[in-house]
Amino acid sequence: MEKDNLYIFVPAILLFALVLLPSGKTDTNLSENLQANVAEAALVPVPPEVEAKSAYAIDLSSGKIIYEKEKTSALPLASVTKVVSVLVILGELYLDEEVVVSRTAVSTPEPSSLKVGEHFFTRELLAMAMVESSNDAITALVEAAANKKGIVQNESEAWFVNLMNLKANSLNAFTMRFNNPTGLDILDEKSGLPAEAGAFGSAEDLINIAKASIDSELWQFGEITEVQSKEGFVHPLHPTNLLKSEITGLIGGKTGFTDLAGGNLLVIVQHPYPGGHLYGIVVLGSSENGRFEDVKKILEWIKS
């Protein structure tokens, strides 16, 4: 029986029992106990209904499951994919390693403000990837990592995607499959319409990866508001996570949105803040705005 139905069903049975009870002292005591149980049941919060196709929330400190909905379903990840991309980059490049932006990187769909020939430190491009989900930045980093290994540019993406799949498997995220480092939908060559998702994975596996990477530099880029290239160009960062200014105790997060994926969101929140437990919340397959509302609903459920 589903949880939502259970919260309605139990009080109903108890009320029905009260009506059928005969009078008498013993029965009166029993009636009072049942009334107390009904009152207690009525105070139990009802889990929220979310728009997302899949949702999962756990206490990362204890592993206790707080909320779940189709948590094992493998769905398109969109730019939440970059969580794994960044983990792989952190294993291939030093944070202070210099990266040049190529024309190929700048031509990546949904470009950011990067210019061909600009030089950045790895950490700066990682901040662009995590804060404003820059596909240009991820592509530049992939090319730099491949070049460091002697991989030619036209083979760099395939090489990197293989590393991403290996990384996911090493973290027991077996539902995950990556077709590119950005999570962008793959377009049909004839129609130009989305034909296949750039990556797939489950909410449960995303939480497992978040838990495994909680001490990683991955989650330390969210406070960066701008980066500057060696050439002196300043690039203000525009956060894609609209909850950044709304949630107290937000430790980190990653958004994603494509036609095939819908709206996705992963956040790590400390509650109470400071000093409380860390909670991981994922919603997949919501809408562009609905993903933020879904996470807020689940966070309120955690607080209750």
Q: Which residues contact 205 (CB under 8 A, 6 or more apart)?
A: 168, 172, 173, 174, 175, 176
The reported pLDDT for the residue numbered 286 is 98
The per-residue pLDDT for 203 is 98
Q: How many CB atoms lie within 10 A of CB 167?
A: 18
- For residue 112, the model assigns a pLDDT of 84
pLDDT in tens, 190-234: 999 999 999 999 999 999 999 999 999 999 998 899 999 999 999
pTM of the model: 0.85
Tens-place pLDDT, residues 63-100: 999 999 999 999 999 999 999 999 999 999 999 999 99
Helices H, strands E: what count in the chain? 9, 14
Preceding peptide of 181 cis, ω within 30°? no
pLDDT for 304 equals 86
Q: Which residues of 232-261 are buried (b: 16+ CB within 10 A; e: fewer)?
A: eeebebebbbebeeebebbbbbbbbbbebb
pLDDT at 31: 62
- Is 254 annotated to bind ligand? yes
Cβ contacts of 148 within 8 Å, gap of 6 or more: 92, 93
pLDDT at 110 (0 to 100)? 85
Residues of the chain with pLDDT under 50: 1-23, 25
pLDDT of amino acid 194: 95
C-alpha closest to that of 85 among 120, 135, 124, 121: 135
pLDDT at 17: 47
So which residues are the catalytic ones? 79, 82, 133
**pLDDT at residue 40, as a whole number:** 54
